[in-house]
Copies of this chain bind each other. A is one copy, B any other.
Amino acid sequence: MFVAAVVICQHVVRSSRRWIQEQQYQPWRLRPLKLQPLSPVPSDIEISRAQTPKPISQLAQEIGLLPEELEAYGNTKAKVHLSLLNRLQHQPNGKYVLVAGITPTPLGEGKSTVTIGLVQALSAHLKLNSFACLRQPSQGPTFGVKGGAAGGGYAQVIPMEEFNLHLTGDIHAITAANNLVAAAIDARILHEATQSDRVNNCNHNNIQLLRLLEYTFDLTPEEIRAFVRLDLDPEKVTWQRVVDTNDRFLRKITVGQANTEKGHARQTQFDIAVASEIMAILALTDGLGDMRARLGRMVVGSSRNGQPITADDLGVTGALAVLMKDAIKPTLMQTLEGTPVFVHAGPFANIAHGNSSVLADKLALKLVGEEGYVVTEAGFGADIGMEKFFNIKCRTSGLTPDVVVLVATVRALKMHGGGPNVTAGVPLPKEYINENLQLVADGCSNLKKQIQITHLFGVPVIVALNVFKTDTQAEIDMVCRIAEASGASAAVQCHHWSRGGWGSVELAHAVKKVASQKNHFQFLYNLQDSIVEKIRSIAQKVYGADDIELSPEAQAKIDYYNQQGFSALPICMAKTHLSLSHMPEKKGVPTGFILPIRDIRASIGAGFIYPLVGTMSTMPGLPTRPCFYDIDLDPVTEEIKGLF
């Protein structure tokens, strides 16, 4: 008895000791992969292929994951169980770093490469635990215009072809779930229109229930009809089908034209898969139960008498949760220098919030521990991606950022300073190749404005100048000087693209210094403000508009959402990323404009209302010369060619 008690006590002591140990910050025993950058810098896929990734199980072990928390998908990708959050619940979070950007050219200014370069510098060179959290790219553009999205040069996620292709199937799961809802909607409309109340009830509910209603509760046929039918209005279905392909011919289609559908044809459209509300939910959810609840709340249309119809009403919620049960786990990969990366979710930045997942950030913050760093990226310019990161993503997650890294390029600044148009696929005009200090100086207006926007939220900002080989020292120095004069806590040049993490060490030091300072994070608006006030706050304080102007459609939607009790949701502006205003051609810092709100929509499951400023395409097309012309596979070596 006594012996048993001693054994139990010893056991408790050992357990507690282990428990305390587990909670403490421990520097990882990370073995970085050596990098020997070549000059000139080879193509992305050549660089990716020249590096042999660590087995993903080894990386997982190095960063403190238990074997049972890992589900390998081949040797270079693994899903991580959410049970980790439970195991490390007492572990303090690491520092939370957001990478945002100035208003970009259509070519993009390298937020992803800065993100990856920064964690390579932090982990592999400063020996600090750090994690990058990236969005999974849509496969559509990979074969269309854009190419891959795994970073570039010597700041990449490897193997880049795995990152850019199916990955671990999350977008495919979203496609399957989204389209099951769509099939359920049209089938339900057809069945309700062509079958009796009795058949509809027996099928949608059960025969016992019908008898209960008829005989026990003595309901009238009209009451029973109202009970068994959703009475979805085919004209008011808002749910759309999706594919992960750039298929412009699906932008407007008519479905239901076969005889078997008995004349129930209607017009609708396909969106690109990442535009699905289910993707936005994946990015914002904090667990299986919450995801299931959000999926159930998704509004797919309204009934003939104007009531919202949800996925729960269709009886499809459980099946959606089943389809999404693996997608909810973030995917672990690695950078070129063998440091850890989570790839998870990738909501469309046009009509959704364009940020990687809350869950990946939360897991990473626990894994790096108190003195570690999690670097996450927000799509588009800071006026859009960062604003949504703060007002939507941070509000949902409860996390607060420690520092913003604002990415700028001399190229984009010159454009804002009045340089000629920058167009994808066309050689850059000479202003962008040769030194032009005047254009740079003028263009810094945009940089200054984006710094001010960051300060609205009470978060310090570091400007990261992503250096191109055509940039001159005078141009670089000028940008850094103006940035610091405009209130940036630091402004540093970054050479990750040509040198890997070593090229971002200065940025890493700046991040370490600034992130350790206290900040005073605040939201831009209160959820209890009216929808109009919330939109006006963003338009005036962030975009610099004089005011907003609502179309009659937008006003009618606001009235409807108020009536339905959806007014306390945050706002997710659907605005061009090519200007602070709604006019893509207006560069620099446009003033004196009224922001027109053409229409307003809602993603009730994801939990935001999205005003449309102008027309937002939700389905890209293939260009006359698509990327897929160059993509091929060597059947013998199994090597992929032409991805970049």
CB-nearest residue of chain B to A173: B166
Listed stretches A91-99, A313-321, A362-370, A592-600; interface member: A313-321
CB-nearest residue of chain B to A172: B172
Taking a contact as CB atoms under 8 Å apart, the answer to whether A325 and B633 are in contact is yes
Partner among B190, B247, B322, B632 whose Cβ is within 8 Å of the Cβ of A322 = B632
Q: With A71-B74, A623-B203 in contact, is A247–B186 under 8 Å at CB?
A: yes
Q: A631 at the A/B interface (Cβ < 8 Å)?
A: yes
Listed stretches A286-294, A385-393, A453-461; interface member: A286-294
The interface residues of chain B lying within 8 Å CB-to-CB of A625 are: 202-204
Q: For chain A, which range describes its interface: under 10, 10 to 19, 20 to 34, or 35 or more residues?
A: 35 or more
Q: A183 at the A/B interface (Cβ < 8 Å)?
A: yes
The interface residues of chain B lying within 8 Å CB-to-CB of A244 are: 176
Q: With A203-B623, A257-B254, A624-B200 in contact, is A165–B247 under 8 Å at CB?
A: no
Q: A248 at the A/B interface (Cβ < 8 Å)?
A: yes
Q: With A169-B169, A252-B258 in contact, is A179–B326 under 8 Å at CB?
A: no
For window 181-224 of chain A, which residues contact chain B by CB distance below 8 Å? 182-184, 186-187, 190-191, 195, 199-200, 202-204
Q: A112 at the A/B interface (Cβ < 8 Å)?
A: no
CA distance A624 to B243 in the complex (A): 25
Taking a contact as CB atoms under 8 Å apart, the answer to whether B636 and A183 are in contact is no
Copies in the assembly, this chain: 2
Taking a contact as CB atoms under 8 Å apart, the answer to whether A74 and B74 are in contact is no
CB-nearest residue of chain B to A266: B249
Q: A584 at the A/B interface (Cβ < 8 Å)?
A: no
Q: A225 at the A/B interface (Cβ < 8 Å)?
A: no
Partner among B73, B195, B257 whose Cβ is within 8 Å of the Cβ of A624 = B195
Partner among B173, B184, B254, B642 whose Cβ is within 8 Å of the Cβ of A628 = B184
Q: A493 at the A/B interface (Cβ < 8 Å)?
A: no
Partner among B166, B184, B187, B267 whose Cβ is within 8 Å of the Cβ of A169 = B166
CB-nearest residue of chain B to A179: B245
CB-nearest residue of chain B to A83: B638
Taking a contact as CB atoms under 8 Å apart, the answer to whether A624 and B203 are in contact is yes
The interface residues of chain B lying within 8 Å CB-to-CB of A187 are: 248-249, 621-622, 624, 626
Taking a contact as CB atoms under 8 Å apart, the answer to whether B245 and A260 are in contact is no
Q: A323 at the A/B interface (Cβ < 8 Å)?
A: yes
Q: A568 at the A/B interface (Cβ < 8 Å)?
A: no
Report the minimal beta-carbon distance from A632 to chain B, rounded to whole angstroms: 3
Report the minimal beta-carbon distance from A187 to chain B, rounded to whole angstroms: 4
Q: A445 at the A/B interface (Cβ < 8 Å)?
A: no
The A contact surface, by secondary structure, is mixed
CB-nearest residue of chain B to A634: B288
The interface residues of chain B lying within 8 Å CB-to-CB of A326 are: 74, 166
For window 299-336 of chain A, which residues contact chain B by CB distance below 8 Å? 315-319, 321-323, 325-326
Taking a contact as CB atoms under 8 Å apart, the answer to whether B267 and A248 are in contact is no
CB-nearest residue of chain B to A623: B203
The interface residues of chain B lying within 8 Å CB-to-CB of A71 are: 73-75
Q: With A183-B622, A631-B319 in contact, is A261–B288 under 8 Å at CB?
A: no
Taking a contact as CB atoms under 8 Å apart, the answer to whether B248 and A186 are in contact is yes
CA distance A165 to B172 in the complex (A): 11
Partner among B245, B261, B636, B640 whose Cβ is within 8 Å of the Cβ of A176 = B245
Taking a contact as CB atoms under 8 Å apart, the answer to whether A254 and B253 are in contact is yes
The interface residues of chain B lying within 8 Å CB-to-CB of A243 are: 175, 179, 241, 243
Q: A139 at the A/B interface (Cβ < 8 Å)?
A: yes
Q: A520 at the A/B interface (Cβ < 8 Å)?
A: no
Q: A629 at the A/B interface (Cβ < 8 Å)?
A: yes
The interface residues of chain B lying within 8 Å CB-to-CB of A252 are: 256-258, 261
Report the minimal beta-carbon distance from A600 to chain B, rounded to whole angstroms: 22
Taking a contact as CB atoms under 8 Å apart, the answer to whether B245 and A322 are in contact is no
The interface residues of chain B lying within 8 Å CB-to-CB of A323 are: 165-166
Taking a contact as CB atoms under 8 Å apart, the answer to whether A253 and B251 are in contact is no
Q: A437 at the A/B interface (Cβ < 8 Å)?
A: no
Q: A131 at the A/B interface (Cβ < 8 Å)?
A: no
The interface residues of chain B lying within 8 Å CB-to-CB of A245 are: 176, 179-180, 182-183
Q: A85 at the A/B interface (Cβ < 8 Å)?
A: no
CA distance A249 to B258 in the complex (A): 8
CA distance A454 to B267 in the complex (A): 50
The interface residues of chain B lying within 8 Å CB-to-CB of A165 are: 322-323
Sample 18 A-B pairs with CB under 8 A, ordered by A number: A72-B72, A73-B73, A143-B319, A166-B323, A169-B169, A187-B249, A187-B624, A195-B624, A203-B625, A241-B247, A248-B261, A251-B258, A253-B254, A253-B257, A288-B635, A319-B632, A321-B632, A325-B633
- Supplied contacts A187-B621, A248-B258, 13 more A-B pairs, CB within 8 Å: A73-B73, A166-B169, A166-B176, A179-B243, A179-B245, A179-B247, A187-B249, A187-B624, A199-B624, A254-B257, A316-B628, A318-B632, A322-B640
Binding site for B on A (CB under 8 A): 71-75, 79, 139, 143, 161, 165-166, 169, 172-173, 175-176, 179-180, 182-184, 186-187, 190-191, 195, 199-200, 202-204, 241, 243-258, 260-261, 264, 267, 269, 287-289, 291-292, 315-319, 321-323, 325-326, 621-626, 628-633, 635-636, 638, 640-643
For the complex of A and B, list the 7 residue pairs with the smallest distance between their C-beta atoms, beginning with the closest. Answer: A318-B632, A289-B635, A172-B172, A203-B624, A319-B628, A251-B258, A252-B258
